[in-house]
């Protein structure tokens, strides 16, 4: 299939507005604003059959029609660039490689629904994506594609960028709106839906990046072109993100309805090292797992539910026959437990309990009854959580027990992993013991998650004195702390006190701090400290953290 959404990806500097225009860019905005009335565009999108690419697959044209058709009502458009679903990396790619394409979608969509203000909400960790958004918006203002009287019409549109702090729940549209309003990102009750009561209680359209990227192409090529691609209920091209044990992980633009077999074997180069497939997660971490018997299922909204899964974001995660399913699901459970916003009890408590039970089984400490307990618990979350995150957290658990119960039983009975045949007791316990000290429990938890996933043993403490007490008791190999804990310079104070203690003075420290605090570096008592200012935007970037940890543990002196 000829590429549409990814057509500019091999064009050098496609994010540059001149290059974009030279490749046909902004013709769709021109055509839409000059040749079409807003209602005609809504009709076009409805006829195309476009459905949202953010996970739920709601019909896009219908969503636009639900916005009030009253020019006196202030309406907003929000571009959801949160993309926190594990396995999903298409929106980031679109924004990094061809951002003007998405901005064209934003302008046309805002014009169609009568919104004069749009907000790009982007996840905190997407540094280059945020930089790109800011640049392309500025360039579009300069060329008259944004601002007042766009292309000489009466249509005005202002767009600005808002960076989130890296919470998965802030991708959920109502939690996103709370966050955009400056509040804690937790979901709102629906109904009312954002199209009626959204940002600052005004009608608001929230869209996924890929959905918006489809819009200019429908304007240029027509709704029939789009509707002729795909299956009966899933139209158009789709970007499938393929990751895991494949030869060529990456983003592949293919027609909706392409089979998993074609995606994995023809496009992603098959399974690494010629191994076999054990399991496939078809639509991002919150969709139920499938097995090789499902390889011929079309990747479409209507066909995946028939085999007990969902299209979700179209993020295909492939696991080969050497994968320990219990281990993989434990990792996913940790993700959901960490990302649960805590608003409702079933999810807040349920996700953590599932994580703990899985951890026990994974470590060979499970009891026979734990598998059914896990299933009971997972089922008790279904239909009882406030938003879909809670229910989504049960999908990997329930589907993996359905297909791989024997692996769970093996872990419990034999106290070893069926896949690797390595007795759990022989696995290295940990490569090092690390004490994480911070008054921000989220920081401690996410750092713990990253480190534990890499086989480090982690102990947490919430302030400097607790840190010293734990360091004496546990004798860690390394401490990760923050200079500015609740009492000013608590971390620095802890470091000085450690110098006075023979037992503690040789323990290296990674001091996480903000750029604004760099001057404090000179106040440190020894050279056993490393200052890492990149961690300003929490959560910590895993690669940077692991790199710093490895460097510090190997040298045990300053870096």
C-alpha dihedral, 261 to 264 to 270 to 272, nearest 10°: -130
Q: What three-state secondary structure class fits 227?
A: helix
169 binds ligand SF4 (CB under 6 A): yes
Pairing of strands 237-244, 250-255: antiparallel
3-state helix, strand, coil in the chain (%, to 5): 45, 15, 40
Least gap, CB of 190 to ligand SF4 (angstroms): 11
Q: How far is the CB of 375 from ligand FMN (least distance, A)?
A: 22
Q: Which of the stretches 134-142, 360-368, 379-387, 471-479 binds ligand SF4 when contact is defined by CB under 6 A?
A: 379-387
Choices 63-71, 226-234, 320-328, 380-388; region in contact with ligand SF4 by CB under 6 A = 380-388
Which residues ranging from 353 to 412 are in contact with ligand FMN (CB under 6 A)? Answer: 387-389
Q: Which residue has the tokens 């024997």?
A: 406
- What is the rounded CA–CA span in Å between residue 514 and residue 526? 20
The item of ligand SF4, ligand FMN, none sharing an interface with residue 377, based on CB under 5 to 8 Å by kind, is none
Taking a C-beta distance cutoff of 8 angstroms, is the pair 218, 235 a contact? no
Selected from 196, 261, 267, 348, the binder of ligand SF4 by CB under 6 A is 348
Q: Closer to ligand SF4 at the Cβ: 80 or 340?
A: 340
| Smallest gap from residue 187 Cβ to ligand SF4 (A) | 5
- Judged by CB, which is closer to ligand SF4: 187, or 198? 187
When the beta carbons of 395 and 513 are compared against ligand FMN, the nearer one is 395
Among 255, 298, 390, 467, binds ligand SF4 (CB under 6 A): 390
Tokens 């679903």 appear where? 85
Across the strands, what pairs with 315? 241
Check residue 80 for interaction with ligand FMN (CB under 6 A): yes
Contact between 470 and ligand FMN (CB under 6 A)? no
Task: Name the one range near ligand SF4 by CB under 6 A: 134-142, 386-394, 452-460, 480-488.
Answer: 386-394
Read off the DSSP letter of residue 437: E
From the list 33, 32, 43, the residue with the least C-alpha distance to 154 is 33
Provide, rounded to whole angstroms, the least separation between the CB of residue 531 and ligand FMN: 32
Q: Is 19 in the site for ligand FMN (CB under 6 A)?
A: no
Kindly report the length of the chain: 559
Measure the CA dihedral 433/438/444/450, to 10°: -60
Q: Does 337 bind ligand SF4 (CB under 6 A)?
A: no
Are the beta carbons of 440 and 537 closer than 8 angstroms? no
CB 487, min distance to ligand FMN, A: 35
Q: Can you read off the two tokens belonging to residue 382?
A: 């279904």
Phi-psi sector, 466: left (phi>0), alpha (psi -120 to 50), beta: alpha
Residue 15 φ/ψ, nearest 5 degrees: -80, -10
Per CB under 6 A, contacts with ligand FMN among 167-186 are 168-169, 171-173
Shortest Å distance, C-beta 468 to ligand SF4: 34
Stretch that binds ligand SF4, among 71-79, 336-344, 404-412, 497-505 (CB under 6 A): 336-344
Residue with tokens 């916005």: 67
Q: Which is nearer to ligand FMN, 113 or 389 (CB)?
A: 389
Distance from chain centroid for Cα 343: 20
List of residues 6+ apart from 262 with CB closer than 8 A:
254
- Number of chain positions touching ligand SF4 (CB under 6 A): 14
Instruction: Compute the Cα dihedral for 18, 24, 27, 28 and give only its sign.
Output: negative
Interface ranges with ligand SF4 (CB under 6 A):
169, 187, 340-344, 347-348, 385-387, 389-390
- Interface with ligand FMN by CB under 6 A: which residues? 52-56, 58, 80, 82-85, 168-169, 171-173, 206-208, 211, 387-389
């Amino acid at each position: 299939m000829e590429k549409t959404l990814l057509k500019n990806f091999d064009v050098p500097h496609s994010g540059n507005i001149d290059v974009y225009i030279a490749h046909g860019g902004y013709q769709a905005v021109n055509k839409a604003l000059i040749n079409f009335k807003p209602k005609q565009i809504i009709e076009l999108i409805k006829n195309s059959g476009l459905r949202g690419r953010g996970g739920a697959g709601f019909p896009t044209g219908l969503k636009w029609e639900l916005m009030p058709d009253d020019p006196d009502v202030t309406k907003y458009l929000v571009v959801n660039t949160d993309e926190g679903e594990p396995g999903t990396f298409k929106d980031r790619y679109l924004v990094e490689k061809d951002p003007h394409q998405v901005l064209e979608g934003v302008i046309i969509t805002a014009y169609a629904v009568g919104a004069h203000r749009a907000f790009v909400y982007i996840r905190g960790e997407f540094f280059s994506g945020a930089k790109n958004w800011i640049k392309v918006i500025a360039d579009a203002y300069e060329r008259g594609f944004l601002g007042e009287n766009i292309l000489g019409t009466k249509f005005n549109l202002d767009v600005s960028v808002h960076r989130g702090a890296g919470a998965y729940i802030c991708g959920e549209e109502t939690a996103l709106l709370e966050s955009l309003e400056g509040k804690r990102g937790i979901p709102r009750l629906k109904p009312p839906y954002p199209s009626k009561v959204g940002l600052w209680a005004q009608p608001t359209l929230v869209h996924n990046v890929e959905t918006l990227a489809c819009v200019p192409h429908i304007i240029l090529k027509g709704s029939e072109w789009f509707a002729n691609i795909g299956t009966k209920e899933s139209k158009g091209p789709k970007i499938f993100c393929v990751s895991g044990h494949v030869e060529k992980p990456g983003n592949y633009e293919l027609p909706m309805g392409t089979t998993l077999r074609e995606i994995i074997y023809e496009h992603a180069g098959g399974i690494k090292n010629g191994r076999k497939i054990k399991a496939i997660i078809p639509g991002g971490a919150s969709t139920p797992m499938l097995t090789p018997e499902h390889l011929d299922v079309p990747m479409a909204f209507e066909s995946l539910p028939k085999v007990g899964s969902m299209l979700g974001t179209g993020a295909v995660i492939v696991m080969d026959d050497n994968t320990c399913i219990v281990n993989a699901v434990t990792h996913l459970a940790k993700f959901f437990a960490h990302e649960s916003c805590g608003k409702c009890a079933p999810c807040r408590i349920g996700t953590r309990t599932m994580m703990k039970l899985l951890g026990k089984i994974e470590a060979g400490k499970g009891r026979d009854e734990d598998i059914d307990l896990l299933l009971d618990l997972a089922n008790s979350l279904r239909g009882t959580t406030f938003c879909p995150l809670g229910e989504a957290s049960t999908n990997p658990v329930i589907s993996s027990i359905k297909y791989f119960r024997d692996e769970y039983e093996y872990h419990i009975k034999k106290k070893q992993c069926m896949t690797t045949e390595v007795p759990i007791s022989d696995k290295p316990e940990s490569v090092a013991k690390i004490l994480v000290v911070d008054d921000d429990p989220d920081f401690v938890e996410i750092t713990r998650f990253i480190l534990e996933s890499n086989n480090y043993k982690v102990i947490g403490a919430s302030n400097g004195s607790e840190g010293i007490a734990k360091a004496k008791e546990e004798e860690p190999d390394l401490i990760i702390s923050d200079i500015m804990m609740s009492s000013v310079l608590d971390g620095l104070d802890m470091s000085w006190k450690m110098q006075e203690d023979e037992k503690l003075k040789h323990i290296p420290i990674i001091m996480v701090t903000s750029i604004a605090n760099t001057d404090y570096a000179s106040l440190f008592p020894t050279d056993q400290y490393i200052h890492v200012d990149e961690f300003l935007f929490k959560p910590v970037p895993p690669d940077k953290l692991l790199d710093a940890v490895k460097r510090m543990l190997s040298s045990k002196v300053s870096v």
